[in-house]
Amino acid sequence: MTLRIYDATVEAGANAMVDKLEDGAGAGLVRIYTGAQPALNAAVSGTLLAEFTMSDPAFGAAAAAGSGAVATALSMPKTDAAAAATGTAGYGAVVDSNSVVLWTGTVTATGGGGDFEIDNTSITSGQEVQLTSWTFTLPQS
């Protein structure tokens, strides 16, 4: 059998996911790390390279888009004025203001199609880094 989730339901699910960024007293964050994306529910690993503070709220309303619902981050791009370390971006982690990890995803340079797109994946300590694009997609089936 194939599960088919109707548009209104998948939109509600995507909105619930991105609304988790507002848990806690402040805005949610996107953190960029070196290394491979950790296994599901595993602790983050690697070196923290850059951190972006999101708007509060971080996303507009999700909309059904073919095979899922897509929510787009507001007020992009986001800038980290001074990268924390030197390394190659491997993955990104989304955390609420209490530092609870909500999900992780791939990182690519702008236009590369990653879950998180940044202006340069080769980062040097102290350099400015921009999160240029971020969308969240919840699949429909």
Per DSSP, the residues of 33-79 read ESSPPPPTTPPP-S-EEEEEEPPSS-B---EE-SSEEEEEBSS--EE
Average pLDDT over residues 6-12: 95
| Contacting residues for 3 by C-beta, under 8 A, at least 6 apart | 141
Confidence of residue 130 (pLDDT cuts 50, 70, 90): very high
pLDDT number for residue 1:
67
pTM here is: 0.93
CA 131 – CA 75 distance, rounded (Å):
11
Beta bridge partners of 12: none
